[in-house]
Amino acid sequence: MLEAEAAGLDELKQAAAVRVPAVRAVGATAGQAFLALEWIDFGASAPDAETRLGEQLAWQHRVSARGFGWHRDNTIGSTEQPNAWGNDWIAFFRERRLRHQLELAKRNGHDGRLTDRGAVLLELMGAFFASHRPVPSLLHGDLWGGNWAVDSAGQPVLFDPAVYFGDREADLAMTRLFGGFGNAFYTAYHATWPLDQAAGTRRTLYNLYHVLNHLNLFGGGYLAQAQSTIDRLLAELGH
């Protein structure tokens, strides 16, 4: 897991967009694994830092690849995140993201209505992409408010990534799941690389992945949210 995180930080560093901590060392002893990172002093956030983050994230998303996925699997939290390459984004997100999490949920005892309704959503979710053909973008992958900060010089810093190449809307969707990003961030991002006007219609679908992951990590407290999210998406599709 730590080797994959180190590789993800190196991938983001090569993009030369948003600052990330430099990897100093990664390895294992007989009983423990370790990841040593550059020490960064953090300061207070401010709208100008959010503006820089929005601009720099848009430039990071401009970094593309031959397909959707990554050269290795990694983790989202402590959950395995499969990243085998694919050319079809809808199939990638359906199989490597949503179906993977639904199968984990079933193994964790959350079958029945969740997995039954989830299976229907998997069959129908292509309707959300009727006019959307995303290009592979370098994603942070776990972009909630707790995974960015501001260094002492006022520059934004990203950390704790779950890197892969996917639809940039997925990163932007997660920024709205738990908050932590202000208007200056979104204004700057859109000014640098505007999103599709229908991006909001896919936001709930993309965030379902993270809601399901929280269910699998932390248990039944997220079951009702996962079920209601699936129901809301199916209602939008007339089911």
Q: For 3-13, write each residue's pLDDT tens digit.
A: 999 999 999 99
DSSP string, 13-77: HHTTSSB-PPEEEEEE-SS-EEEEE----EE---HHHHHHHHHHHHHHHT---SSBB-SS-EEET
pTM exceeding 0.85: yes
How high is the pLDDT of residue 171? 98
How high is the pLDDT of residue 87? 97
Is residue 188 one of the residues assigned to a domain? yes
Tell me the CATH number at 146.
3.90.1200.10
Is residue 16 one of the residues assigned to a domain? no
Q: What is the pLDDT of residues 172-219, one digit of tens each?
A: 999 999 988 999 999 999 999 999 888 999 999 999 999 999 999 998
With H, G, I as helix, E, B as strand and everything else as coil, classify residue 12: helix
How high is the pLDDT of residue 221? 87
Mean pLDDT in the chain? Answer: 96
How high is the pLDDT of residue 220? 81
Q: Give, in order, the Cα–Cα distances in Å from 145 to each of 122, 130, 142, 176, 182.
A: 28, 30, 9, 9, 10
Is residue 149 one of the residues assigned to a domain? yes
How high is the pLDDT of residue 44? 83
Of 41, 73, 111, 142, the catalytic one is 142
- Quote the number of domains for the chain: 1
How high is the pLDDT of residue 198? 86
The span from the CA of 117 to the CA of 122, in Å, is: 9
Is residue 221 one of the residues assigned to a domain? yes
Is residue 10 one of the residues assigned to a domain? no
Residue 16's region, left for phi above 0, alpha for psi from -120 to 50, else beta, is left
How high is the pLDDT of residue 176? 96
Give the residue among 61, 58, 51 at the shortest CA–CA distance from 154.
Answer: 51
142 is catalytic: yes
Residue 52 lies in domain = 42-236
Is residue 20 one of the residues assigned to a domain? no
Is residue 23 one of the residues assigned to a domain? no
Question: Tell me, what DSSP letter sits at residue 195?
Answer: P
Q: Give, in order, the Cα–Cα distances in Å from 139 to each of 28, 41, 119.
A: 27, 24, 26
Is residue 61 one of the residues assigned to a domain? yes
Q: Chunk the chain into consecutive blocks of 10 residues (it has 239) and report each block's average pLDDT, rounded to whole numbers.
A: 97 98 95 96 88 98 98 97 98 98 96 94 96 95 97 96 98 94 96 92 97 94 95 95
> Residues 145-150: contacts with CB within 8 Å, 24+ apart?
145/175, 145/178, 145/179, 145/180, 145/181, 146/178, 146/180, 148/53, 148/180, 149/40, 149/42, 149/45, 150/42, 150/43, 150/44, 150/45, 150/46, 150/49
